[in-house]
Chains A and B, each alone.
Chain A
Amino acid sequence: MAYKRQIDRLPIPPKDAKVHNVTCHYCIVGCGYKAYTWDRNKQGTLKDNAFGIDLGEQQNADGTWVAPSMYNMVKQDGKDVHLAVVPDQECVVNSGLVSIRGGRMAENRPSKVTGTQQQRLSDPLVWRNGTWQPTSWDDALDLVARVTARIVTEGSEDDLLLSMFDHGGSAGGYENTWGTGKLYFDSMKVKNARIHNRPAYNSEVHSTRDMGVDELQYQYSDYEVTDTIMIIGANPLETQTNLFLNHMRKGLENGAKFIMVDPRRTVTVNAAEEVAGAENVLHLAIDPGSDMVLFNALFTHIVDQGWTDSDFVTNSTFASGEAVAEDAAHPAGLGSLDYALATCRTSTAEAAEICKVDEADIIKAAEWIAKPKDGARRKCVTAYEKGVIWGNDNYRTVGSIVNIALATGNIGREGGGCCRLGGHQEGYYRPSDAHVGRPATYVDQLLISGGGKVQHVWACDHYKTTLNASQYKRAHRKRAEMVKDAMDASAAGSREQQVDAIVAAVNAGGLFVVDVDIHHSQIGQNAHVILPACESNEMNLTSMNGERRLRLSEKYMDRYGNSLPDCLIAAKLAQNMERVLRDMGDDAYADQFKGYDWETEEDAFMDGYNQGNPDVTYERLRAMGNNGVQEPVQGFEDGKLVGVERLYMDGKFTRHGRDDGKALFCAASWRGLQAPGKEQERATHKFWINNVRANIFWQNQFLDKDNDFIQDRFPYPFIEMNADDMAEMGLNAGDLIEIHNENGTTQGMAYPTDTAARGQVAMVFGSPTGSQGNVVNPGVNELVLPDYKHTWGNIRKLADATPAAKAVSFKSKEYTS
């Protein structure tokens, strides 16, 4: 039986409730919400309330309603206050729509009154006496700084392994990327760094940038006025929910065609069919990994048919030959259209054979993208995400997509765009990372092979979200245990003696792990020092969404316990490094850690982002509200920040840094499954193991493991599976099954899915109770972009469905009218 909230009424916000601007911090879309807070002993009435409507009347569809998940009681200025976080009708991003994630922001706040999110960390913890013991910031950071300073001075900064977020929203944002960036890329020059979801410090979309095209150049309203929407390796109804519902949907209602490139049929395809009619939706269910062949064929066909935008190609793209040669930093050559096409040339017949789709459908896709309509140029928006970003041959495949957009003049124009859809919001402002190099270090392999001595982890949990995770975890745990043993053995000694013991342990192959997070994560089980961070709205935080819309999401509640914003943790760590290094007599190095006298997150913002964007201040952003301003900010006029609707409207492409302003095409040469070991894995296992997202906990699963509503729906990670495959193996719905291959094992519950192809399963990614990354091999491309998506394994049954799994609905996820 489903989880019942057993709530039949809620407090009403009074007219004088405080109102705060909130941008949802979970996914890249960044929907606007208003947070209402009011005193514990006050309430509004049905007639007289903060919404200014008669709440005694049943509200119509789309009317204002506070769901129980939008309510909580939190601390504000030390007092318990009511909180309601309600979607903002006036925000152009979501127009009052709410996702299953954002609609639960309030209940996913920590509250000692209602008992929500009591998993949150409240104090620094240090490994003592066989467990993690609470302590002060001074004590914890003294230990971190002493060990770190010893290691980087006795060895080098290359002995510091760094895992850190690079995104906006949630724990990221301009304040926090700057705080961490200044510490590790300015005060230090740490090069053995990786990002939360990939094993190196690199771009996920190097090729589009090298071609001159930033990956977020359109605005969301372009979907509403286009002729065709092409989505590649993405599932926006689940993962950019209100982008689909509020913008793509309008485009489809206005007559746009919809092309989906994805081996798996998703709820997005179903919804597009519902809105546009099946005849206007083309789902190209290609063979896994064959994307590039399809795009090369589309590119070829469009050029051969003369459907290119010749003025755009002439004026805005590189004219002749090769501009950038293929080399270690560029997995494909870049140059003119003709230059690229010579390599990319693929017939629709060849593509049909390799991609295992009908040739007629490929031709239809080309027509929908580029065939002139009523004598006029056709507009097409293209968007892609993890299916290709975490897919086969990232550099060339992304390049092959951008080739089509450039050939058809669909960048920098209304109704166009060729963008990634994104995961988190963006919020990157850091000193140069040029010292990291390209290709960057494959940091996971370095760690596994015994490299590095100290690891600083910022809001990353590689236990759940890295590839080759089984091996990584074994190595990490073993190395961390050596240091735990040393700390236990030296516990009675002085701080100096304990630091000596830790240094000896890491010199013997151990790893000293510092974990900064909002909760005690799985990788945190191996940490020696754990530092409590806070989230958006427990601090002020600035980020930009997938159309570069910059907003200030305001602080409306106190930080939980003794937690701090990441930027201020970085500042405190820098100050401790300075002090310790001075004590060690290394004044010159100590001086590099000056400049962190920040009291607030706004100080970090002014020290970082504002230096590069002097027009942008908290006060001005606050005044811009939930619609914010689209970056890059051009100035401040008539009391408003001025932004830009879309990039490259002048037809000049700059992301590659070329002075000529010409975009480059990519010579995307097909070479099968590029990453080492993939072809062999495919040949020797029964099932393709796709990893997928679910709207219900996309981007907030780490919180939702403590959320009853969510855990009731999916007590275990789902593994969608064809019913005939299940029958053949004697599996019933909800049975616990294990996926196994040479890389490791993982487990979840079988979810019979009639649209799943035989031999293909889809496992939800990033689950705390079943890491899909366990079975992903270490294969990456030349620039260390992992291919999570191409994994093959076998499946065996572990157990019958548990009572929790038996209570779950296993019906189709597809809406039926």
Chain B
Amino acid sequence: MRCKKMVDVGRRQFLRGGALAAAGAAAATVTTTPAQATPANAQVDYPSGKLANVADLAVNEPMDIEYPDADSPGVLIKLGQAVDGGVGPDGDIVAYSVLCPHKGYYMSYNSEDRTMNCPGHFSRFDVEAGGQQVWGHATQNLPQFTLRVDDNGDIFAEGASDLIFGRPSNVL
């Protein structure tokens, strides 16, 4: 089955960069707390996870990440030119989920035109335009992780812009 093979290729491409485990808090339980328990906050509490240091990143070489937990693969990219929503000294570092928000297939990064591409059903997303779906079947743009860079250049993920495929809550 060609389709499955292609998914595997996509997965390998991401493992190639070496996964960095998300540090930080364990996921908080929030969605279905019984009435008698402590009331949940209105907003999901995201863990703060260190992804990398600015110095670890080379322009246009994606790094595999996992956020908000190990079951949610993502990608961290230094684009080389500032973009809306980019962080770091050059305003060019972005991070996204790599599960296609259509049917959850692992996507591949096309470094030539800087898009994420889904082998499942041919959707593609522009990482230079906030993850906007260039063409495809997803009904939302690519979940983008909210990043913070501290004084040491450490990059932390601390939130997500959209619901990640395959979960009713970004933090499970």
Report B107-130 CB contacts with A as 1/0, cut-off 8 Å: 010101111011111111010111
B residues 35-89 near A (Cβ < 8 Å) are: 43-44, 46, 71-72, 84-85
Beta-carbon contact of A1 and B130 below 8 Å? yes
Contact of A817 among B113, B117, B133, B142 (CB under 8 A): B117
The residue on A at minimum CB distance from B128 is: A809
Which chain B positions have C-beta within 8 A of A59? 104, 165-167
Which chain A positions have C-beta within 8 A of B170? 8-9
The answer to the question of A6 belonging to the interface, with a C-beta cut-off of 8 Å to chain B, is yes
Which size bracket describes the interface of B in this complex? 35 or more
The answer to the question of A4 belonging to the interface, with a C-beta cut-off of 8 Å to chain B, is yes
Beta-carbon contact of B139 and A815 below 8 Å? no
Beta-carbon contact of B122 and A267 below 8 Å? yes
With A808-B129, A811-B115 already in contact, the answer to whether A61 and B108 are too (CB < 8 A) is no
The residue on B at minimum CB distance from A105 is: B139
Beta-carbon contact of B134 and A813 below 8 Å? yes
Which chain B positions have C-beta within 8 A of A60? 104, 166
The answer to the question of A434 belonging to the interface, with a C-beta cut-off of 8 Å to chain B, is no
Beta-carbon contact of B110 and A2 below 8 Å? no
Q: What is the total of A-B residue contacts with beta carbons within 8 Å? A: 181
Interface of A is mostly: loop
The answer to the question of B137 belonging to the interface, with a C-beta cut-off of 8 Å to chain A, is yes
Which chain A positions have C-beta within 8 A of B30? 9
Interface of B is mostly: loop
With A65-B166, A68-B162 already in contact, the answer to whether A12 and B31 are too (CB < 8 A) is yes
CA distance A437 to B140 in the complex (A): 48
- Min Cβ gap B7→A in Å is 7
Which chain A positions have C-beta within 8 A of B6? 817
The answer to the question of A492 belonging to the interface, with a C-beta cut-off of 8 Å to chain B, is no
- Min Cβ gap A20→B in Å is 20
A residues 711-726 near B (Cβ < 8 Å) are: 712-713
The answer to the question of A43 belonging to the interface, with a C-beta cut-off of 8 Å to chain B, is yes
CA distance A808 to B130 in the complex (A): 10
- Min Cβ gap B163→A in Å is 5
The answer to the question of A310 belonging to the interface, with a C-beta cut-off of 8 Å to chain B, is no
The answer to the question of A649 belonging to the interface, with a C-beta cut-off of 8 Å to chain B, is no
Beta-carbon contact of B104 and A61 below 8 Å? yes
Report A692-719 CB contacts with B as 1/0, cut-off 8 Å: 0001000000000000010011000000
With A245-B121, A253-B3, A816-B124 already in contact, the answer to whether A66 and B168 are too (CB < 8 A) is yes
Contact of A61 among B84, B105, B137 (CB under 8 A): B105
Beta-carbon contact of A103 and B131 below 8 Å? no
Which chain A positions have C-beta within 8 A of B133? 2, 713
The residue on A at minimum CB distance from B43 is: A8
Which chain A positions have C-beta within 8 A of B108? 817
CA distance A104 to B138 in the complex (A): 10
Report A252-274 CB contacts with B as 1/0, cut-off 8 Å: 01000000000000010011001
> Nearest 9 pairs between A and B by C-beta?
A2-B130, A59-B166, A2-B132, A9-B169, A69-B139, A1-B84, A58-B71, A813-B135, A815-B122
Which residues in B have some Cβ–Cβ distance to A below 8 Å? 1-3, 6-7, 9, 30-32, 43-44, 46, 71-72, 84-85, 99, 101-106, 108, 110, 112-115, 117-124, 126, 128-142, 144, 159-163, 165-172
Which residues in A have some Cβ–Cβ distance to B below 8 Å? 1-10, 12, 43-46, 55-63, 65-70, 97-100, 103-104, 107, 237, 241, 245, 253, 267, 270-271, 274-275, 695, 709, 712-713, 807-809, 811-817
A-B contact pairs, 26 of them (CB 8 A): A5-B161, A5-B162, A8-B46, A8-B160, A9-B163, A9-B171, A43-B32, A55-B167, A57-B172, A58-B167, A59-B165, A61-B99, A62-B103, A65-B166, A66-B168, A69-B140, A97-B121, A267-B135, A713-B132, A808-B132, A811-B115, A814-B135, A815-B117, A816-B110, A816-B115, A817-B9
Given contacts A61-B99, A68-B162, A816-B112, 16 further A-B contacts (CB under 8 A): A2-B129, A4-B141, A5-B141, A8-B46, A12-B31, A59-B166, A60-B104, A62-B104, A67-B101, A67-B140, A68-B140, A98-B102, A241-B137, A275-B2, A713-B132, A813-B134
